[in-house]
Structure 1
């Protein structure tokens, strides 16, 4: 579904990604794990067209994404739940969800999808007129996820969904990620909580200072001594 080949991204004179390659197959949950500053968010932002690609290729369903606008990439079926949630604080919950559907034209279908988001996240329905900035961290994470779903993505990119959340909410969010995958959404998950990420993913890649140093099935990564030592506390 997604193929990244030799991807390089520069921030001025600093190269953040040094020619990484990986793929995501339809129906998978694939996780990118790594320490802060490894280049995980940069990878997602490059896929979404939010940072320019210096060299390399990104294809989705066989179509080249490099050079497309971010909204053009959303229209093709990729949506991101960004790190730190980034809800529109001064808009209501409902208006945030509508922003997620801004590339769509069918108002009735958008309304149906909004009702599905409310069914999945009843707390958002209770607070639909509330300003997003007044929600708790967990509620904002649900809103960011609901907003991404409003574009009807085939591939969902998730950047640190557990950040700043209590353990109970982390389990709830990861359970929702699994539910979405079972319903047919392919997921590329960036997550510092390697335990949780490897618990739900099918395959994974380890990113270190802009390079992919390891890859494999979840079982292979869980047995890898380097992964155990660096990311699993063993």
Structure 2
């Protein structure tokens, strides 16, 4: 579904991604693991069109999207839930969700997706007339995910969905990520909580200072001493 070949991405003179290649198959949950500043968020921003690679290819369903405008990438079927949630604080929950469907014209489908989002996140239904800025961190995370789903993506990019959330809420968010995946959406997940991410992923890539240094199934990575020591608490 997504093929990234040898991309190099820079912030000014600083190279953030160095020859990164990876693939995501339809229906998978693939997770990116790595320390802060390793380049994980940069990779998601490059896929979603917020950053342009200097070299390399990004193919989504066999067509090149490298350097395309962000809105055209959303139109093609990729939605990005950024780190730090980024909800529109002065707008209501409902208005935030409406914005997620901004590029769509199919009124019946949009209505159906509102219902789906409220089924996945009943808390948002209770708060639909409330300003997004007044929601708790967990509720804002649900809203950011719900807003991305309103674009009806085939590939969902999730950047640190559990960041700053209480452990119980983290479990809830991960359960919902699995449900989204089971309903047919492919997921690329960036997550500091490596153990949690691997517990739901089909495959994972480990990124260190802008390079992919290991990849495999959760079982394969769990049996690698280097990965275990660095990211999985060395157990």
| TM superposition score normalised by structure 2 | 0.98
1:207 aligned counterpart, secondary structure: strand
- Indicate the residue corresponding to 2:176 in structure 1: 176
Listed as ranges, the gaps of 5+ residues in structure 1 are none
Partner of 1:195: 195
The answer for the alignment partner of 1:121 in structure 2 is: 121
| Pair 1:2-2:19 in alignment | no
More displaced stretch, 109-118 vs 204-213: 109-118
* Residue matched to 1:91: 91
1:78 aligns with 2:103: no
Unaligned runs of at least 5 residues, structure 2: none
Q: Distance in 1 between matches of 2:193 and 2:209?
A: 18
Distance 2:39 2:207 in 1: 7
Counterparts of 1:34-183 in structure 2, within 5 Å, are 34-183=34-183
How does 1:199-214 map onto structure 2 within 5 Å? 199-214=199-214
1:215 aligns with 215
Structure 2: how far apart are the matches of 1:124 and 1:112?
Answer: 15
Deviations 1:154-206 (A, max 9, x none): 00000000100000000000001111111111000001100100000000000
Per the TM alignment, residue 67 of structure 1 is displaced from its structure 2 partner at its CA by: 2.4
When the two chains are superposed, the root-mean-square deviation of aligned CA atoms in Å is: 0.7
Distance 1:109 1:29 in 2: 25
Where 1:89 maps in the other structure, the secondary structure is coil
Distance 1:61 1:176 in 2: 25
Q: Distance in 2 between matches of 1:213 and 1:116?
A: 38
Equivalent runs, 1:215-234 vs 2, <5 Å: 215-234=215-234
Runs of 4+ in 1 over 6 A off after TM superposition: none
Partner secondary structure for residue 226 of structure 1: helix
How many residues align structurally? 234
* Alignment TM-score, normalising by the size of structure 1: 0.99
Supply the distance in 2 between the matched residues of 1:182 and 1:109 (Cα, whole angstroms). 19
Q: Residues 51 and 67 of structure 2 are in contact (CA less than 8 Å); yes or no, is this contact kept in structure 1?
A: no
SS in 1 for 2:21: strand
